[in-house]
Copies of this chain bind each other. A is one copy, B any other.
Amino acid sequence: MDVQIDLILKRNQLSVTGSRMKILELFLESKGALAHGDIEKRTGEKFDRVTVYRTLQIFLEKGIIHNIPTSDNSVRYALCTNDCSEGHHHDNHVHFVCSACSNTTCLADVMVPSVKLPVGFSPEESQMVVTGICKDCK
């Protein structure tokens, strides 16, 4: 695991620091998405709030994580499974938000379907979020 973390950071030209390793580890451990608050809690408050913000931001820029649009507009992040190049994400999978446990899951196998748009609209990226009951809460 540590080797993997090291690799991911170095591949993205990021220096390997305690906070980055720990936060990346959290993402690798948890199948679902993490909110800023989750991370602050699960790290045992070892890192400053600012550090968490900056780490998430740089992970986002590097394409290590992506953020998930939710209907309640809470900010959530999840690991990119595909190869996301710097600044250009392409995780075309559907996200599932459980209305019971409020966990967010990346449905890596479910692709976002394409839709026919009205004349004049050119799509660049599509995102889809499904709310409901997840497999752990049914």
Q: A residues touching B (Cβ–Cβ < 8 Å)?
A: 67, 69-75, 94, 96, 99, 107, 109-110, 112-113, 115-136, 138
Chain B residues with CB below 8 A from A75, complex form: 73
* B121 close to A133 (CB less than 8 A): yes
Chain B residues with CB below 8 A from A123, complex form: 130-132
* A110 close to B120 (CB less than 8 A): no
CA distance A96 to B135 in the complex (A): 30
Closest B residue to A124 by beta carbon equals B132
Q: How far is the CB of A127 from chain B (nearest CB, A)?
A: 5
In the complex, which of the residues A69, A112, A123, A126 has the most CB atoms of chain B within 10 Å of its own CB atom?
Answer: A69
Chain B residues with CB below 8 A from A109, complex form: 118
Known A-B contacts A67-B73, A71-B69; A116 and B110 likewise in contact (beta carbons under 8 Å): yes
CA distance A67 to B130 in the complex (A): 15
Q: How far is the CB of A4 from chain B (nearest CB, A)?
A: 25
* A121 close to B99 (CB less than 8 A): no
Q: How far is the CB of A97 from chain B (nearest CB, A)?
A: 9
With A122-B138, A125-B131 known, 14 other A-B pairs at CB within 8 A are A69-B127, A96-B117, A107-B118, A109-B118, A112-B115, A112-B128, A113-B113, A118-B135, A119-B135, A123-B132, A124-B132, A125-B132, A126-B129, A127-B131
Chain B residues with CB below 8 A from A107, complex form: 117-118, 121
